[in-house]
């Protein structure tokens, strides 16, 4: 009988606190490994930060330097920036929500960081929309 995992990207052995690895608490119910709310909150936070980082890499490295070298239009940067910026803001909002629902001990620290990232993304979104209008 094989063991099924609720979150497909999580290895059951990697989360088992008895094995001393990642430290996230798990529970096995009817052969299904369930990841605790804190682990999910931390994963959501990591995802939101990665999305924001990708947006910054595209904005400050790819679009200004690489895109012109391969013949991409200068209008693609602001267009992609708007889309990625909105996705990044939504991911940060989900991160805040998940930390608070899990009643994570660092929920206010993470909320402060997420709000700061959302503020910076909002400024970049404003700039990108302005570039598209011009």
Position 13 confidence tier, pLDDT thresholds 50, 70, 90: very low
The whole-angstrom separation of Cα 34 and Cα 17 is 13
**14 with 44: CB under 8 angstroms?**
no
Residue 77 Cα distances to 24, 36, 48, 127, 132, angstroms? 39, 39, 20, 11, 9
> What pTM did the predictor assign?
0.64
pLDDT at position 90 is 94
pLDDT at position 65 is 81
Report the range of poorest mean pLDDT among 6-10, 42-46, 75-79.
Answer: 6-10
pLDDT at position 113 is 94
Position 29 confidence tier, pLDDT thresholds 50, 70, 90: low
CB-based contacts of 60, cutoff 8 Å, min separation 6: none
pLDDT tens, residue by residue, 109-118: 999 999 999 9
- State the virtual CA torsion across 9, 13, 15, 21 in degrees, nearest 10: -120
Phi, psi of 33 (to 5 degrees): -90, 125
């Amino acid at each position: 009988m094989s063991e099924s995992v609720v979150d497909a990207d999580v290895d059951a052995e990697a989360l088992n606190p008895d094995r001393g690895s990642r430290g996230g608490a798990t529970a096995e119910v009817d052969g299904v490994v369930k990841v605790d709310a804190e682990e999910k909150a931390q994963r959501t936070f990591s995802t939101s930060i990665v999305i924001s980082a990708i947006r910054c890499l595209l904005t400050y490295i790819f679009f200004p330097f690489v895109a012109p070298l391969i013949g991409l239009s200068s209008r693609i940067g602001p267009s992609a920036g708007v889309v990625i910026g909105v996705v990044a803001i939504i991911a940060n909002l989900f991160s805040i929500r998940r930390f608070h629902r899990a009643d994570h001990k660092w929920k206010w620290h993470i909320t402060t960081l997420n709000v700061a990232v959302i503020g910076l993304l909002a400024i970049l979104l404003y700039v990108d929309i302005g570039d598209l209008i011009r």
